[in-house]
C-alpha cells in the first residue's frame, strides 16, 4: 500500500492510467405482441335475391413470451440473442384453434449515447429463424362457391399484392428500442422491430416487446458526484500541488578562532515525504487488517498530519483486479476505514479526515498478474481536498 497525498500518482505528468475493461452481460424476460395477420374466408353462397354472401374472419395481433440476452462487445456495441414463443388463435374450416410460433436469432445493437447512465436508446439489426404450426392464406377459392369460378385475395398493412405464406422462414429484423435503468442492475426494456423474409415466400410482420432486464458486470452506474468531480479535475490537482523536495540548508558559523561548517536538515512534511513513509504499509490479499509494521509507520504519519490541523484529506481505499466489482467496493471501503480509524486513534483531528472506497477502478495490473505485482493496487490513498464545496458535499 502506498500513501499518496493530493493525488500525486494520478496527476503527475507522464503518468498514465490503464483501466481493465469490465464487459456487461444483460438478461431479460418479458412479453411480446406480433402483428401477424391470420385470414379465413368461407361460406360463399347465393341468396334468394340473386346476391352472393361470404364469411370473412381476420385476426391481426397475438401475444407471447420473449427472452433476451446481450453481451457488451464495446461500450457502444452489444451482441444479443432474442427469442419469442407466440400463442396465436386462428380459424380452420370455421373452427377456431390454438397455434404456436417460435422465432429466435442473434442481432447487433448500436448504443450511440455510450455515456448515458440511466436511459440507453439503441438501434438493432438481426437475423431470425421463424416457425409456426398454423396456416394463414392471402388468396384462394371460396369453399362453397356454386359457380366454381370466384376467388378472393387479402392484403394488410405489411403485405400488398400477391403474398404466399409458409410455415418456416428466415426473416431479417430492423428496429430499435430503449432501456431505462431503475438501478445499477435492474431496468426496463422496450423494443419494436420489422421482420422481412429473405425469400419471396413468407409474409412481412412486426413485433413489439417489453420486459425487465438484469445487468451483471459493466461500469458502476451509481458513481457519485464526488468521483466525477475528482476524475474531471485531475490535471488541476497536478498544477495546484507540485512535488516539493526535502529542503536542506547549510549555514556557516564563523567563530573567532575557527570556521565551523554545519549542515542543518529541515524536515518538511510534504506529499512526497508522507508517501515515502507509507510505502511499506501493505494489506494482504483479501484482507483489510493492518500489520504490526504498518501500525508503527502510521504513528509517524499521524505526527506529521497533526502539525497541520487546518488541512483536509480524503482517505481513499483501492483493491486489485481480482474479485467482483461489488465485493471490491466493499473491501476497499474497509481498508480505507482501517487507516482512518488508526489515524484517529493516534490523535489526528476527526475534522481533518473522511474515508471512501473506490474498489478496482484504478487497478493497473490484471487479475492474472503475480501477487507481488498486484500488491501495488491494494492501497489507501490520502487525497488532499482544498475545495470547501466538495468537502462539505463529501461530509454530508
Q: Which of 35-49, 158-172, 210-224, 318-332 has the lowest mean pLDDT?
A: 35-49
DSSP letter for each residue of 301-340? HHHHHHT-TT--EEEEE---S-S-HHHHHHHHHHHHHHHH
Q: Are residues 121 and 184 both part of a single domain?
A: yes
Q: Are residues 226 and 274 both part of a single domain?
A: yes
Q: Are residues 79 and 183 both part of a single domain?
A: yes
Q: Are residues 14 and 30 both part of a single domain?
A: no
Higher-scoring residue by pLDDT: 181, 363: 181
Q: Are residues 194 and 250 both part of a single domain?
A: no
Q: Are residues 111 and 237 both part of a single domain?
A: no
Confidence band, pLDDT 50/70/90 cuts, at residue 188: very high
* CA 367 – CA 328 distance, rounded (Å): 12
Into how many domains does the chain fold? 2
Domain membership of residue 310 (yes or no) is: yes
Confidence band, pLDDT 50/70/90 cuts, at residue 287: confident
- What was the pLDDT predicted at 67? 98
- What was the pLDDT predicted at 110? 96
Expressed as residue numbers, the domain containing 113 is 24-217
Domain membership of residue 3 (yes or no) is: no
Q: Helices marked H in the chain — which ranges?
A: 8-11, 225-232, 234-240, 271-277, 292-306, 325-345, 371-374, 388-394
Confidence band, pLDDT 50/70/90 cuts, at residue 255: low
Domain membership of residue 93 (yes or no) is: yes
- What was the pLDDT predicted at 261? 52
- pLDDT for 13 beyond 50: no
pLDDT tens for each residue of 304-339:
888 888 888 888 888 888 888 888 888 888 888 888
Nearest to 281 by CA among 375, 365, 362: 375
Domain membership of residue 1 (yes or no) is: no
Q: Which of 20-29, 112-121, 138-147 has the lowest mean pLDDT?
A: 138-147
Any residues with CB less than 8 A from the CB of 212 and at least 6 apart, and which? 28, 29, 30, 186, 187, 188, 189
Q: Are residues 231 and 187 both part of a single domain?
A: no
Q: Are residues 240 and 190 both part of a single domain?
A: no
- What was the pLDDT predicted at 273? 66
Among all chains, which residue has been given the C-alpha cell 490523535? 347
* CA 14 – CA 20 distance, rounded (Å): 20
DSSP letter for each residue of 43-80? EEEE-TTS-EEEEEEEEEEEEEEEEEEEEEEETTEEEE
Q: Are residues 186 and 48 both part of a single domain?
A: yes
Q: Are residues 187 and 296 both part of a single domain?
A: no
Specify the CATH number for the domain of residue 349.
3.30.1330.60
Domain membership of residue 2 (yes or no) is: no
- What was the pLDDT predicted at 331? 87
Instruction: Report the chain's C-alpha Rg in angstroms.
Output: 35
Higher-scoring residue by pLDDT: 84, 160: 84
Higher-scoring residue by pLDDT: 20, 388: 388
Mean pLDDT confidence for 283-304: 80
Specify the CATH number for the domain of residue 71.
2.40.160.20
- Could you tell me if 225 and 396 are in contact, meaning their C-beta atoms sit under 8 angstroms apart? no
Give the length of the chain: 396
pLDDT tens for each residue of 350-379:
888 888 888 888 888 888 888 888 887 888
Mean pLDDT confidence for 162-184: 91
Angle between helices 325-345 and 292-306 (to 10 degrees): 60
Q: Are residues 186 and 43 both part of a single domain?
A: yes
Instruction: Write down which residue in 191, 217, 243 finishes a domain.
Output: 217
pTM summary value = 0.52
- pLDDT for 223 beyond 50: yes
Amino acid at each position: 500500500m502506498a500513501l499518496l497525498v493530493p493525488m500525486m500518482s494520478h496527476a503527475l505528468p507522464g503518468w498514465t492510467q490503464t483501466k481493465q475493461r469490465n464487459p456487461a452481460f444483460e438478461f431479460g424476460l418479458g412479453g411480446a405482441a406480433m402483428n401477424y395477420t391470420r385470414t379465413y374466408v368461407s361460406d360463399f353462397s347465393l341468396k334468394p335475391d340473386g346476391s352472393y354472401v361470404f364469411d370473412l374472419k381476420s385476426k391481426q395481433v397475438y401475444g407471447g413470451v420473449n427472452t433476451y440476452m446481450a453481451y457488451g462487445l464495446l461500450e457502444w456495441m452489444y451482441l444479443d440473442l432474442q427469442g419469442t414463443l407466440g400463442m396465436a388463435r386462428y380459424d380452420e374450416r370455421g373452427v377456431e384453434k390454438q397455434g404456436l410460433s417460435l422465432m429466435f436469432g442473434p442481432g447487433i445493437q448500436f448504443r450511440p449515447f455510450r455515456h448515458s447512465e440511466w436511459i440507453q436508446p439503441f438501434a438493432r439489426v438481426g437475423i431470425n429463424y421463424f416457425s409456426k404450426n398454423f396456416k394463414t392464406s392471402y388468396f384462394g377459392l371460396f369453399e362453397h362457391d356454386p359457380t366454381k369460378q370466384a376467388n378472393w385475395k387479402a392484403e394488410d398493412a405489411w403485405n400488398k399484392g400477391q403474398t404466399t405464406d409458409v410455415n418456416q422462414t428466415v426473416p431479417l429484423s430492423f428496429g430499435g428500442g430503449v432501456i431505462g435503468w431503475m438501478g445499477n442492475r435492474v431496468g426496463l426494456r422496450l423494443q419494436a422491430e420489422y421482420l422481412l423474409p429473405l425469400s419471396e415466400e413468407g409474409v412481412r410482420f412486426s413485433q413489439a416487446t417489453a420486459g425487465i432486464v438484469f445487468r451483471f458486470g459493466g461500469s458502476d452506474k451509481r458513481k457519485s458526484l464526488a468521483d466525477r468531480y475528482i476524475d474531471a479535475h485531475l490535471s488541476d490537482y497536478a498544477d495546484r500541488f507540485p512535488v516539493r523536495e526535502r529542503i536542506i540548508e547549510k549555514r556557516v558559523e564563523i567563530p573567532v578562532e575557527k570556521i565551523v561548517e554545519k549542515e542543518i536538515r529541515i524536515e518538511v512534511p510534504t506529499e512526497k515525504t508522507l508517501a515515502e513513509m507509507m510505502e511499506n504499509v501493505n494489506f494482504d490479499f483479501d484482507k483489510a487488517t493492518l500489520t504490526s509494521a504498518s501500525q508503527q509507520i502510521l504513528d509517524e504519519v499521524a505526527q506529521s498530519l497533526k502539525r497541520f490541523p487546518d488541512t483536509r484529506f480524503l482517505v481513499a481505499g483501492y483493491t486489485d483486479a481480482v474479485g467482483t466489482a461489488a465485493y471490491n467496493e466493499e473491501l476497499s471501503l474497509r481498508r480505507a476505514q482501517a487507516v482512518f480509524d488508526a489515524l484517529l486513534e493516534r490523535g489526528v483531528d476527526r475534522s481533518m479526515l473522511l474515508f471512501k472506497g473506490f474498489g478496482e477502478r484504478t487497478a493497473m495490473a490484471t487479475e492474472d498478474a503475480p501477487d507481488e505485482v498486484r500488491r501495488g493496487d491494494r492501497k489507501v490513498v490520502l487525497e488532499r481536498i482544498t475545495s470547501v464545496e466538495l468537502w462539505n458535499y463529501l461530509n454530508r
